[in-house]
Chains A and B, each alone.
Chain A
Amino acid sequence: MTIKGKAYIAGAYEHPTRLAKDKSVAQLHAESALGALRDAGLTKADVDGYFCAGDAPGLGPLAMADYMNLTLRHLDSTDLGGCSYIAHVAHAAEAIAAGRCSVALITLAGRPRSEGHSGATPRIRGADAPDTQWEFPTGVATVNAYAMVAARHMYQFGTTPEQLAWVKVAASHHAQHNPHAMLRDVVTVEQVVGSPLIATPLHRLDCCVVSDGGGALVVVAPEIARSLKRPLVKVLGAGESMKGQMGGDVDLTYSAGVRSGPAAFAEAGVKPADIQYASVYDSFTITVVVQLEDLGFCEKGQGGRFVADGNLISGVGKLPWNTDGGGLCNNHPANRGGITKVIEAVRQLRGEAHPAVQVKDCRLALAHGTGGLLGSRHGAATLIMERE
């Protein structure tokens, strides 16, 4: 079975808040859901499938489905960390193709900014996780786990801090046009490498923002998509995977994108060179470099050279990328950037991105992310979409 052409993304909504001291997480989920359903021209009564991940409060999907008072025949709380929502689109398409639901709602929300979270503070990811007793004592924070990938990439391939900085520069060029973006000032390579070192070799401006917020998507069956007054954004292909430490055979030079990417391209029947717009998770600048290589946009080890000199800036470079400003400048709700990657890809395919960053006649887009920690164990999900 393939999901190619079996489902469409009919609704997409990014909550405008970046600081939600006066709201609850459940409220942000529901407000995001409402936004996506309105965008699609659907209502709560139409929803028969619901998808969420670890940011949803309560037990799996139960608390949020009850909070929104949904009547469902399909539920899925697959958690791959920040890329979960990209995988959810594929899982929704599978469920729709199997007749298990026809209108699938996906939500994400969180308020790490209000709660004072920082990617520079070690935190336990499950006290009972088998790796915790071995790794938590090291003080490994999120930023260290990515920084070790960067350090190895520099050592093995000669990647430079300036090349990594170009990723942030590109994000900032796009964020200047996004009124909701947390950071709207255009920055230079010199400013990135001149910002304080947080965890060597990553600087402050190599790191994404910490923001409150949320997002939601509505994935529907083809006949429903055609009955709505929205541009048709078709699911063409998807892939997911994970990669860990392989029993001690640690190799930080690649991500699980080496499996999720080719699977998605094969199902979609397209190749990297066909992609007109790419949303690629930018938790840190290095995340983008490794993933672009693994997805096949350039050779392994060439990611630093690929992203340099504005190659990711819409209208300037070869691969328009994260035109909302990404996690580096716009938004990283719940410390999970997967859903915003799909949302901006949908905007591009609909022609609804900001005119300054809109890709002309954008018909084929990719959304890809990793979740968890790139340098220890992470999930990956890739989604390819087409404007019909």
Chain B
Amino acid sequence: MAKERSIPAPMANPETEPFWAAAREGRFLIKRCTACGKAHWYPRACCPHCMSEATEWVESPGRGTIYSLSVMKRAPEVYAVAYVTLEEGPTMMTNIVECDYDSLAIGQAVQIAWRPTAEGGPPYPVFKPR
């Protein structure tokens, strides 16, 4: 496996701290609205679908499929940026790792993986083929 690039630390804020705290325990949380019932991404206190404040963190198994992707060739370490559609519905921007970059495809099934981030930041959610 080729050397992976260093991932910058995500800058948590009070609204998102529970996500990154759970990430440190290896748990992947997403937000769901108890008013409209819909899950969303990226996580917000206020539901982007119905604007209710009644959102809750729920743990996700982190399974999904690649919606689109772009392999960055013009970088010291090649990496893949992708949108992954989770089984719960929302599509999130992420990376695909532990893969053959040339054979990655839209529609491919993936599962969550975690990567450490720079400066002791919380782990960042990425995906690998399953």
A138 contacts which chain B residues (CB < 8 A)? 81, 93-95
A147 contacts which chain B residues (CB < 8 A)? 70
A376 contacts which chain B residues (CB < 8 A)? 93
Chain A interface category by residue count: 35 or more
B48 and A199 contacting across the interface, CB-CB below 8 Å: no
Given contacts A138-B93, A247-B41, is CB(A198)–CB(B81) below 8 Å?
no
Given contacts A120-B74, A198-B73, A250-B91, is CB(A151)–CB(B68) below 8 Å?
yes
B81 and A250 contacting across the interface, CB-CB below 8 Å: no
Which chain B residues numbered 8 to 23 have a C-beta less than 8 Å away from chain A? 8-13, 16
B40 and A247 contacting across the interface, CB-CB below 8 Å: yes
A375 and B91 alpha carbons, distance in the complex (Å): 12
Most B Cβ at <10 Å: residue of A132, A133, A246, A250: A133
B73 and A200 contacting across the interface, CB-CB below 8 Å: yes
Which chain B residues numbered 34 to 93 have a C-beta less than 8 Å away from chain A? 38-42, 44, 47-49, 67-75, 79, 81-83, 85, 89-93
User: What mask results when residues 105 to 142 of chain A are scored 1 for a CB within 8 Å of chain B, else 0?
Assistant: 00000000000000010000001001111111111110
Given contacts A151-B69, A155-B68, is CB(A139)–CB(B91) below 8 Å?
no
A155 and B95 alpha carbons, distance in the complex (Å): 19
A133 and B72 contacting across the interface, CB-CB below 8 Å: no
B75 and A120 contacting across the interface, CB-CB below 8 Å: yes
A139 contacts which chain B residues (CB < 8 A)? 5, 7, 72, 75, 79, 81, 95
A127 and B8 alpha carbons, distance in the complex (Å): 12
Given contacts A246-B48, A249-B91, is CB(A137)–CB(B106) below 8 Å?
no
Cβ of B68 to closest chain A Cβ, rounded Å: 4
Cβ of A358 to closest chain B Cβ, rounded Å: 37
Tell me if B28 is interfacial: C-beta within 8 Å of chain A.
no
- The residue in chain B whose Cβ has the minimal distance to the Cβ of A140 is B81
A60 and B119 alpha carbons, distance in the complex (Å): 34
A248 and B92 contacting across the interface, CB-CB below 8 Å: yes
A136 contacts which chain B residues (CB < 8 A)? 8, 10
Q: Would you list 24 pairs from A and B whose C-beta atoms are within 8 A, ordered by A residue?
A: A120-B72, A133-B10, A133-B12, A134-B42, A137-B9, A137-B124, A139-B81, A139-B95, A140-B93, A144-B81, A149-B68, A155-B68, A155-B107, A198-B73, A199-B81, A200-B70, A245-B91, A247-B40, A247-B41, A247-B49, A248-B90, A248-B91, A250-B91, A376-B93
| Additional A-B contacts beyond A137-B10, A150-B70, A198-B74 (20; CB < 8 A) | A120-B72, A120-B74, A133-B12, A134-B42, A134-B92, A137-B124, A143-B72, A143-B74, A144-B72, A148-B69, A148-B83, A149-B68, A151-B69, A151-B70, A155-B106, A197-B73, A198-B72, A247-B49, A248-B92, A252-B67
